[in-house]
Structure 1
Amino acid sequence: MARRTSSIGTGTPARQEANRKPLGSVRRAQQITTYGVGSMIAIGDQSFIVSGLDTWGVRGEPDLHEPRLEQRLRVKGFRLPPAAQAPTGNGVKVRRFPETYSCPRCTDLKPFRDFGTRRSDSTCGECKSPLTPSRFVVACDKGHLDEFPYWRWLHSGRGDDHRARRACEPKQARLKLRSEGRTASLRGIVITCDCGEEASMEGAFGKDAMISLKIDCRGGRPWLGRDAREAHCRSRLRVLQRGSSAAWFPNVRSALSIPPWHDELMQHVMGHRDLLLRENDVWIGKIAAKKGWLTDGKYTAEDVIKAVRALEDVDTESPEEDPEEITEFEASNRIRQEEYQQLCTTTEERPENHHFVCVPPDRARETTITGVNRTMLVKRLREVRALQSFSRVEPLMRSDADQDRAVGLALSDDITWLPAIEVVGEGVFLTLDQQRLTAWEASTGPGSPARRTERIRRNHERQLRRRAGDTSVEVNSPVTARFVLLHTLAHALINEWSLDCGYPASSLRERLYVNDDMAGVLLYTATSDSAGSLGGIVAQGEPERLARSLRSALKRISWCSADPLCMEADASGVNSLNLAACHACILLPETSCEINNTFLDRALLIGTPETPELCFFQHDD
């Protein structure tokens, strides 16, 4: 099937846009997860950064709505990334970054504009060789991004000799970059200056490399413009490779369209909210009749009025005291609680149910699965995913210390929308047996789930203190044995289904529902292309198949090719937030996991050789 794409064009004045051809295109979904605002993108042999929302060529009201998510993120709606067809150029704007380029033949290292070449032709003006964008950039954990300071890196040995510095000023210096080819390390990349200075890039990636040179963050925000710097940033600069994943981490929030927001009538009302909200009943009835919603007898004026009032209630509801603010996990927030209740309830398939159909399996074929309480077949669902912000150097955690690390998407405060996509698919929802789960959590001793999970909690709290910049601050990790168990179970089933029914693991996604009263997981199609519409996921939720898949998944993860090191590890994964979990057994593609492949431990599912009683599912289940 055809993939909707966004055209990418340079951020130029309006009078020039008509003459600008798009530089390339990316899929709409990539504008949320991979090439969103503030991320770097390679187009041909050039490098650009995606501009802020202020430059997007969009007009009018937002074209995508999900009331619960709008209320949570305090916006008026969402917009699909522009999908303008070439050669209109009315797409997502980009700016050249980094601006420092090098020529492999003459080895000059200088700004792109100084090579005497056209913007559309990335070749050296003297030797006509293709130019190469700077391999290195600098960033800080507050989201700032800047050019690598080659001149200062090269001349750091001059110390405070003022006369020597005046003899070679940055604007007059002629730098060159050559790769000696004798080694693949940074030692083989050498920077020289016509003043005689020479230095390799060895040591550039050290945590204190910029501090040792007294190079401070200048608050660069090139995605918002050259003049959009923030002053007085005291964060430590880190050197990153231009294509590093640490250069951009998206903060994506999502919600499912559930009753009453899933049906056709509510979609009509949300599309005309400016005409209907806070109006009297007579006016609402007139608009409904004018739009033709009452002609076929499917809806009455009372139905429309009820839908309008429900939408008004959400718009005026206060977003304060969301459970996520306490637990720091999205899996327990108010949106998830509402979804959990609806997923546990039957929603029959009717013509008006456009975006949500959830039914139990055929009772005649029902099979008891030890440890599983309820299974629901989600035959139709719609998820809206919105890019709220992003971070650099390290991904965001849901903690107070990380709130100032979230980088906004626009320079102006007048932007009241966020970029988003919608995914329509299917899935399987299952909950664990609460009685058995409570007894498992309450077990004590050296081999208890709580004792083992405590290792992850300690590492998480250490990470939170480091993020806060104070190792003595009191923090409390929200990680529980229940959360780790459900998260690991979701990974095990996704890996099993990818082998059993032909889905690539990257096309499936988990959605966790965890707190003291919730213990469920939704596994569903996570992509809007052909891999997300094969139609086989719901079939995996039939009790017989689910029981077989669960047994096979547990057997598969009972042994890892990295054992015994994997099973006996005291810490593994990013920031040591996993235990028995690695790429050979339980990790998933990053598009499938909600929390960056962290808080995983397959020992909670199957036990360990020393503590078999640790497992939630018995070996003979």
Structure 2
Amino acid sequence: MEKIKHDLRLSETISPFGVGAIVDVRGESLIAPDTSWWDKKYAPRISCERLLARVGPGELRQAPTHAGRAAKETAGLPYWRFPAWRFCERCSKLSMLTGKKKGRWTNTCECGGILVAMRYVAVCQNGSHVQDIPWFKWAHRGHDEGVTEAVRFCRAYKELKFERSSKRGEGLASLRVTCNGCKRSRPLSELVEKESLRRDGIRCDGRQPWEDTGSVTEPCEHQLVAVQRGATGNYIAERLSALDIPEERPISEKQGDLIRGHVYFEKVVADNGGPQAEMVAGWIASELGVSPETVLSVAANDGSDEFPLLELKDGEWAAFLKKLQHGRDRSGEDFVVDGWTVSDDRLGPQELTRRLSGVGQVRRVREVRALLGFRRHNPGADLISADLGPDRRRRPVYPAIELFGEGIFLRFDEGKLAEWEDNPDVRKRANILVDRRAREAWAHRLDVPEPRFIALHTIAHLLIRRLAFASGYSSASLQERIYASTDRPDRTAGIFIYTAAGDAQGTLGGLVRLGEPARLLPLLVAALDDADVCSNDPVCIESDSQASSRLNLSACHGCALISETSCETGNRMLDRQLVLGGTNVTGLLETVLPEVRGVGGGH
């Protein structure tokens, strides 16, 4: 096959055109094979120890790049033609053949017409496999009276046609696959019926289109479903990203070391929670400036590893806190943050400033994103690795990119947040999503929707929508990282909104300049004002069941949703009521707008 040269942005090799994705290029429908097909000589390694520690043994490699115009020998990524079945837009002939013209392969029919990929492919419901629909076999199957002996034993393999006729009906009923040999004709409306492929005896091959039949070690028992090849559910990327920061130890670990090193600590452990232990713990606490409960907790867990690192975000949170304490950052590293306090009431409404304990202007940050694999059809399907190479003993290769950017970090006051979370109505509201998450087999991959996470996550979305107007960046180019957890010794309560680009020089500064409190707090107030009334109210604000799997409460496209690629949870776990308040629940920031408007009372 003659090579097709087409430029992609580096970020597109991770998503949306990463391993396993179907992409249209110059009239061709192609699919990206796994990284075992890459030429490693032209795929440079990317260094990020924090990310590799989470991923496990393997390598991070970036797709080949070039400067200027691509030449014939320019290194690139291979893409596989899929689906193989195509029809001629001139004569309607349906086949898997590729034409030849003057000895070179071409995507044209014998009649000179352009070959167009068939619209439908078959996706495995739970195994994440995808394959061509065997159109000849499908056209001669069915359970109607038209399946005669002549149809059943037809061998006119080159007589298939894909026809359109409004006389046959509308929609898919007007699209038919017809065999000129036996005159059998079936409408595509029969293809999308429930269990239609199973009834026709079409089974899953148990592999990806670029894999050969020898790669299948055991048959796939899952059913196939016919879907449009461009459907969103055909490709659900599993990505992981990490900020390249100087790793900091969480405060609780540092406190634990001080407590264990105290001369009286062994007495607390020896008394095993008795009255003497409480008394001695009080002495240690007063000397080290910690609570007696912290001392007793360290003693109770001494020698155990009850609190392992929370994936990648523990170190990031600790690094942000250290940067916020030092004000102006004059370091020349890849993580530069200017810290601000917001205690001055002149910067914004008091009801807002008293709930924030710090703001960071992130002037430079390096992020590494990796594609671990993908799923098809539904989030609970099997994960297919980005490297399906035959030699399982070697270290897998994950597609990755490094990005340099800027952003804004907000730290919320832990005391005010904890006080708000203790409200029974707040916990009751959040528990709606906690219960739904528990019922979905795949949803364990999402963060636990405790009250602080839902509120901070929703605030991040509202702020992104407002920043898109003021920063010069589109909302789709902004990303979020939510730090909101209470089940750790170091409770986290922060939002990081950033943008990043593949150029080593980073981005243009339009976002970080808005991180000064005098500019940021008015923008946050404006974001709350935008969300106060949704175009879908009162339906939206009174709702407790929106989005896929009902994992949103009061949040819709009119008020809180953003691009799915910008959100860590795919536009799930959102609720305006936990931010702005509702009839039966107190919002975290519900008193801000009344103060700004000069009115009393709640939301």
* TM-score bracket for the superposition, by shorter chain length: 0.7 to 0.9
Letter in 2 for 1:46: E
Partners in 1 of 2:201 and 2:185 — Cα distance? 19
Q: CA deviation at 1:477?
A: 8.6
Corresponding residue for residue 187 of structure 2? 200
Matched, 1:411 2:389: yes
Corresponding residue to 1:177 among 157, 162, 170: 162
Matched, 1:557 2:543: no
Q: CA deviation at 1:203?
A: 4.5
Q: CA deviation at 1:146?
A: 0.2
Partners in 2 of 1:540 and 1:477 — Cα distance? 28
Partners in 1 of 2:557 and 2:102 — Cα distance? 45
Corresponding residue for residue 549 of structure 2? 575
Distance 1:563 1:415, change over 3 A: same
Q: CA deviation at 1:249?
A: 1.5
Distance 1:409 1:42, change over 3 A: same
Q: Is the contact between residue 558 and residue 606 of structure 1 (CA under 8 Å) also seen in structure 2?
A: yes
Moved more, 106-115 or 584-593: 106-115
Q: Is the contact between residue 606 and residue 612 of structure 1 (CA under 8 Å) also seen in structure 2?
A: no
Corresponding residue for residue 339 of structure 2? 360
Partners in 2 of 1:207 and 1:168 — Cα distance? 26
Corresponding residue for residue 390 of structure 1? 374
Corresponding residue for residue 443 of structure 1? 423
Matched, 1:100 2:124: no
Letter in 2 for 1:238: V
Letter in 2 for 1:132: V
Q: CA deviation at 1:21?
A: 4.6
Q: CA deviation at 1:541?
A: 2.0
Q: Is the contact between residue 370 and residue 617 of structure 1 (CA under 8 Å) also seen in structure 2?
A: no
Matched, 1:593 2:567: yes
Matched, 1:513 2:483: yes
Moved more, 227-236 or 41-50: 227-236
Unaligned runs of 5+ in 2: 249-304, 596-603
Matched, 1:613 2:586: yes
Corresponding residue for residue 459 of structure 2? 489
Q: Is the contact between residue 38 and residue 409 of structure 1 (CA under 8 Å) also seen in structure 2?
A: no
Partner of 2:594, secondary structure, is: coil
Partner of 1:566, secondary structure, is: coil
Partners in 2 of 1:541 and 1:350 — Cα distance? 14
Q: Is the contact between residue 119 and residue 229 of structure 2 (CA under 8 Å) also seen in structure 1?
A: yes
Distance 1:612 1:457, change over 3 A: closer
Matched, 1:133 2:110: no
The one-character-per-residue Cα deviations of 1:460-495 (angstroms, maximum 9, x if unpaired) are 33322xx69xxxxx9999322222111111101000
State TM-score, norm by structure 1.
0.76
Partners in 1 of 2:307 and 2:388 — Cα distance? 26
The one-character-per-residue Cα deviations of 1:123-160 (angstroms, maximum 9, x if unpaired) are 111x2111111111111132211001323433332589
Corresponding residue to 2:499 among 525, 538, 557: 525
Corresponding residue to 2:33 among 27, 51, 55: 51
Partner of 2:498, secondary structure, is: strand
For the pair shown, the structure with the greater C-alpha radius of gyration is 2
Unaligned runs of 5+ in 1: 1-9, 11-19, 262-319, 324-331, 397-401, 469-473
The one-character-per-residue Cα deviations of 1:553-601 (angstroms, maximum 9, x if unpaired) are 1110011111122222231112221121111211111221111111111
Partner of 1:514, secondary structure, is: strand
State TM-score, norm by structure 2.
0.78
Count residues in correspondence. 518
Distance 1:225 1:514, change over 3 A: farther
Q: Is the contact between residue 98 and residue 133 of structure 1 (CA under 8 Å) also seen in structure 2?
A: yes
Moved more, 88-97 or 177-186: 177-186
Distance 1:164 1:436, change over 3 A: farther
Partners in 2 of 1:250 and 1:549 — Cα distance? 33
Partner of 1:202, secondary structure, is: helix
Partners in 2 of 1:502 and 1:477 — Cα distance? 30
Distance 1:337 1:617, change over 3 A: farther
Q: Percent identity?
A: 30
Q: CA deviation at 1:101?
A: 0.4
Moved more, 189-198 or 213-222: 213-222
Letter in 2 for 1:538: V
Matched, 1:155 2:140: yes
Letter in 2 for 1:460: R
Moved more, 516-525 or 203-212: 203-212
Partner of 2:460, secondary structure, is: helix
The one-character-per-residue Cα deviations of 1:95-145 (angstroms, maximum 9, x if unpaired) are 1111100012221111033788976521111x2111111111111132211
Superposition CA RMSD, Å: 3.2
Moved more, 88-97 or 504-513: 88-97
Corresponding residue for residue 499 of structure 1? 469
Partner of 1:341, secondary structure, is: helix
Partner of 2:142, secondary structure, is: helix
Q: CA deviation at 1:532?
A: 6.8
Distance 1:142 1:204, change over 3 A: same
Distance 1:61 1:106, change over 3 A: closer
Partners in 2 of 1:251 and 1:475 — Cα distance? 10
Letter in 2 for 1:405: L
Q: Is the contact between residue 503 and residue 531 of structure 1 (CA under 8 Å) also seen in structure 2?
A: no
Q: CA deviation at 1:522?
A: 0.6
Partners in 2 of 1:184 and 1:511 — Cα distance? 46
Matches within 5 A, 1:11-26: 21-26=3-8
